[in-house]
Structure formats: C-alpha cells, structure tokens
C-alpha cells in the first residue's frame, strides 16, 4: 500500500512539473490560440452551420489562418532555444522537426488537397456520363505560405513570452 501511495505521489509530482514546463505550456498555448484565431476568422468570413462544425473547427480542422502546426513547432523550437541554448542538440533536433512539419503543411498536404479536389471534380463528371456511383476522396487542406508564416510568427512570440515571463 505504501508503495502505491509513493508511486501516485511521484506521478503527481511529475505531472505538476510537466504543466509547469515552459516548452509544454508554449506548445499547448500556441496550438489553442492558433485554433481559436482560426475559428474566429472562419466565423467572420463563412457561416458555420452547426455546433459540430464549430467544435470541429476549434479542435481538429486543418488548413486556414494561422497554421496551428507551424505555431506549435515554432513555439517549441523557440522555447527550447531559450531553455537549452541554440547550440544544444535538442534545439537542432527541434529545428529539423519544425522544418519537416512546416514543409509538410505548405507543400505536401496542400498538393494532396489540390489533387484530391481535381480527382473529385473529374469523378463527378465521369460518374454522371457513365452512370456509376462515385465516392469522393477526402480533401485535406494544406496551407498557403502566408498562413504558415503567420503560424510561425505566432508560435515564435508565444515561445518568447513563455521563456521570458
């Protein structure tokens, strides 16, 4: 029984340290803030038809301004740079990871989404002419370069804030 209490106390201490870690706080905050901004922009520029759409937009929707992926990785990289130094192996790793995520957001996912949209348009045209049932493929939204840049800047400033305040 004493061993279980000690393990629970250790776990509680470790969780407390995690939620006080500036890298963790910057990462979570940058993701939440970017998704919130993205939701506000969407609410003002388009109509949201249901509560389900709003929740999806707030938590899971990809694409749009700003890029939450770019904000998250740039805040983590910035905070690690402040905490561990820019010459640390961890900072170099986080820079490489950030570059892969950012490249994916602006390049690969955007291209995949454009290809899926073209395929769906072609599928609808062909299915109407040939009288067969077409099931559209999922269109993944990537980011425009300006959306990624906005996410990088947002993440950088959030990382600086959690590192210096």
- The per-residue pLDDT for 165 is 85
Confidence of residue 76 (pLDDT cuts 50, 70, 90): very high
Report whether pLDDT(5) > 70.
no
List the single range of 15-24, 38-47, 55-64, 101-110 with lowest mean pLDDT: 55-64
Positive or negative, the CA dihedral 142, 63, 153, 91 is: negative
Q: Indicate the pTM of the whole model.
A: 0.77
Q: How would residue 153 be classed by pLDDT, with cut points 50, 70 and 90?
A: very high
For the chain, where are the alpha helices, taking DSSP H only? 2-20, 22-45, 51-59, 68-84, 89-103, 109-130, 145-164
Average pLDDT of the chain is 85
């Amino acid at each position: 029984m004493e061993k279980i209490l000690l393990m629970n106390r250790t776990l509680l201490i470790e969780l407390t340290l995690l939620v006080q870690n500036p890298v963790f706080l910057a990462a979570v905050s940058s993701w939440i803030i970017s998704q919130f901004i993205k939701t506000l922009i969407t609410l003002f520029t388009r109509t949201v038809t249901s509560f389900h759409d709003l929740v999806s937009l707030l938590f899971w929707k990809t694409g749009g301004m700003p890029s939450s992926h770019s904000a998250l990785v740039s805040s983590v990289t910035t905070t690690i740079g402040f905490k561990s130094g820019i010459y640390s192996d961890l900072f170099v790793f986080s820079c490489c990871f950030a570059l892969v995520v950012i490249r994916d957001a602006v390049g690969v996912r955007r291209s995949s989404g454009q290809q899926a949209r073209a395929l769906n348009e072609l599928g609808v045209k062909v299915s109407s002419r040939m009288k067969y049932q077409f099931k559209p493929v999922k269109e993944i939204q990537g980011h425009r370069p300006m959306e990624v840049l906005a996410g990088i800047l947002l993440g950088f400033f959030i990382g600086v804030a959690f590192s210096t305040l």
